[in-house]
Amino acid sequence: MEQPRRSARAEFWQQILEEHSESDLSVHAFCSQKSLSVQSFYQWKRRLRPRVADAPSPTLVPVRIISAESQALPQSIQLMTPSGFTLRFDASISAQQLAHVLEAIESTKRGERC
């Protein structure tokens, strides 16, 4: 069965949401610049957000622990995001610091400012 064609309004707002995500502006500044309603922005953001069933499910990745004696290089922690970013941290980073970094990434993903 063929899926219904997206409305022109939905396509317009999808483009607006993409433009905002590529800008460094807050939602309020962006909407003001584009003469858009902030309320409409958030309504369309919710409406066009992928449904949970459509979103990729988290996956487990294999982890291999190497003893410190067998590792000649300085120890580090490496995180690879689903979007392709790789973050490397010195192994001495505290759990609290790492949690702050992960919270910042998640808030950016949700469109919030750090």
CA distance 72 to 81: 26
Query: For a pLDDT cut of 70, what percent of the chain falls above it?
Result: 72
Give me the pLDDT at residue 1, please: 44
> What is the reported pTM?
0.42
**Residues 47, 76: one domain?**
no
Give me the pLDDT at residue 53, please: 54
Domain tally for the chain?
Answer: 2
Q: Is 22's pLDDT higher than 80?
A: yes
Domain enclosing residue 34, as ranges = 7-52
pLDDT (tens digit, 9 = 90+) per residue, 31-69? 999 999 999 999 999 888 875 555 566 677 777 776 666
SS3 of 39-63: HHHHHHHHHHCCCCCCCCCCCCCCC
- For residues 28 and 20, the answer to whether their CB atoms sit within 8 Å is no
- The reply to whether 36 falls in a domain is yes
Give me the pLDDT at residue 2, please: 47
- The reply to whether 37 falls in a domain is yes
**Residues 114, 79: one domain?**
yes
- The reply to whether 67 falls in a domain is no
Q: Is 7's pLDDT higher than 60?
A: yes
